[in-house]
Each structure stands twice: as structure tokens, then as C-alpha cells.
Amino acid sequence: METPYDVLEIDADADEDEVVRAYRRRVKDAHPDHGGSLAEFKRVRRAYEHITAGRDPSAFDAHPENGQTGSTGPSRASNGRERADGEHGRGSRDGATPDDGADDDADEEEESLGPTVEYLDYEVVESQGWQLTDEDLFEKAEDADLDVDSHGLLVVEQGETLLEAAERYGFSWPYACRGGACANCAVAVVEGELEMPVSTILTDEMKERGIRLSCIGEPVTDDLKIVFNIERLPGLAELRLPAEQFGNARAGH
Ligand code: FES
């Protein structure tokens, strides 16, 4: 019988860190746009939720279509994406009514995944001598076969900010205020759009360069490419707040 550890392709005695890293790896393999399928993507996500919820591995249900869509796991993954509620991406957030399952498979592929974010660590950009403006930045990252901590995919669930999604994938990206009042959580959006309800802290010039605040930013395009860990970019250091001011702030990953 298949266990969630089998799905993540790790040993049953894997520790928390191994589970998280295996999940990030498998998310990339299983994503429909990267050679996987929606069914496989859901299976991987369900396996991760099963393990992190501390459930009995022998009770793992490998078949999402059998009615186990309302996960009680630690994330919101099941709540937003398992339902069939219109187009994926921003369109699904704005009032589409749940369908009754009559659509064909192609439609389901469209319906069930949220915005996909390809992430890249700025430390890698610097160490490789790359530039944020390089048109082939993410192609180079793909070719470099980087660790999943530095480069990979994550899917943002309904109502999540980018920072919340990253944390659901086990990342500890930097932040301080979590309210749009500093620049600790800033990311550079290279492709796609991350919409912020307020953005008073960032200058117009920064926004034009694609700088966004991950703690309040939600994707409004289906696909984004972002670079995180950009605190050393010119102009951002002055806007950062000392992490010590905030009880649960994170200085970096
Ligand atoms: S953590 Fe301060 S703006 Fe995001």
C-alpha cells in the first residue's frame, strides 16, 4: 500500500527537513506545466499535508477523487484548490460559482491550480554574476540545476499572500512587520504581477523595477517569476526595519 512517504519518495523515518525538501522537489516534478499532471500535483500535496499533520501513514488516501478533498491538514491547500470553482488564477477568486464536476479533464486542469510562482534566491543571482535584468535569468537558473531551496515552484492558494504561501512550503523568507510598513519581505517580480493593496513604503522607481512586498502581495497573474532575499539591492536596506522590533520576525532563510 502506498504511503505518503512513497509519494514524496523518501524513507518513512525522514525528518522534518527532509520532508519539506522532498515536497519542494516533488512539487516541481509534479506540476502540470513541468511534465507532471494535476492529479500527481494533488497527490504530492496531499501526501505532504498528511505527513505534516502527523496522521497515520497507513491511513493515507492516494485517490483525491474519492471524496477526501476537505483536508484538515496544517495548510489551506485543500480549501482553495481542491474545489472546482472556475478558472485558475485570479479569475477563480472573484466570484465564480462552484461547478458540479461535469467539466472535462482539460477544464479541471484549468480550474484547480492557483497561481504558480517560480522562485529564485538572490544569493544565487549574485554568486553566479547574473543580473535581475537578464532576460534568460530563469532559464539559466533551470540549467544550473539548483537546490530546491534556491530555485523551484510554489503554488499560491486562494487568499494567500506570497509570503504565506512560501511559509506553507516550509520557507523562512525574511520579514518584519508583515503589514507593508518596511521592506524586509521585498521580492523582485521578474515576470507576472503581484498586487499590493497598499505600497507607500516603496518608491515609484522601485515599483517600476518590479519590487513588491511579499507579506501583502497576492498574485494577479497565473504565472510569476520572482527573486527573493533581495535585501542587499540598492535602496532597500534603508527601508528595512530591525527584526528585533517584531517578536516573530525573520531575518532571512
Ligand atoms: S514584512 Fe514589512 S512590509 Fe512585509
Series of mean pLDDT values for 10-residue runs along the chain (253 residues): 92 93 91 88 91 90 57 36 36 38 48 87 95 95 94 94 95 91 93 89 90 96 95 76 61 54
The CB of 176 under 6 Å from ligand 1? The reply is yes
* Per-residue confidence (pLDDT) for residue 75, from 0 to 100: 40
- C-alpha to C-alpha distance for 241 and 244, rounded to whole angstroms: 8
pLDDT of residue 234: 75
Give the model's pLDDT for residue 100.
Answer: 41
Q: Is the CB of 251 inside a 6 Å radius of any atom of ligand 1?
A: no
Residue nearest to atom 3 of ligand 1 (CA): 180
- Provide the β-strand partners of residue 223: 116
The residues with which 228 forms a beta bridge, in sequence order, are: 121
Strands (DSSP E) contained in 157-216 are: 186-191, 194-195, 211-213
pLDDT of residue 98: 39
Give residue 192 CA to ligand 1 midpoint distance, Å: 20
Helix count and strand count (H, E) for the chain: 9, 7
What is residue 81's predicted lDDT score, i.e. its pLDDT?
A: 37
pLDDT at 242: 65
- pTM of the model as a whole: 0.76
pLDDT at 185: 93
Cell numbers given for 98: 462552484
How far, in Å, CA of 206 to CA of 217, rounded?
A: 15
Which pLDDT score, from 0 to 100, does residue 65 have? 62
CB distance 217 to ligand 1 below 6 Å: no
Among the atoms of ligand 1, which is closest to the Cα of residue 183?
3
pLDDT at 74: 36
pLDDT at position 212 is 96
Q: Cβ distance 221 to 193 under 8 Å?
A: yes
Q: What is the pLDDT of residues 195-228, one digit of tens each?
A: 999 877 899 989 999 999 999 999 999 999 999 9
All 3 cell numbers of residue 125?
543571482
Instruction: State residue 162's pLDDT score.
Output: 97
Contact 185, 232 (CB under 8 A): no
Yes or no: say if 230 and 188 are a contact pair by the CB < 8 Å rule.
Answer: yes
Using a 6 Å cutoff on CB, does residue 180 contact ligand 1?
yes
Question: CB neighbours (10 Å) of residue 139?
Answer: 10
What does DSSP say about strands 223-228 and 116-121: parallel, antiparallel, or unpaired?
A: parallel
Q: Got the DSSP string for 172-186? A: ---BSSSSSSSSTTE
Could you give the domains of the chain? 4-82 (1.10.287), 116-245 (3.10.20.30)
Q: Helix, strand, or coil here: 230?
A: coil
Q: Is residue 124 in contact with ligand 1, taking CB distance under 6 Å?
A: no
Identify any residues that bridge with 152 across adjacent strands, giving them in sequence order: 119
How far is Cα 83 from Cα 81, in angstroms, rounded to an integer? 5
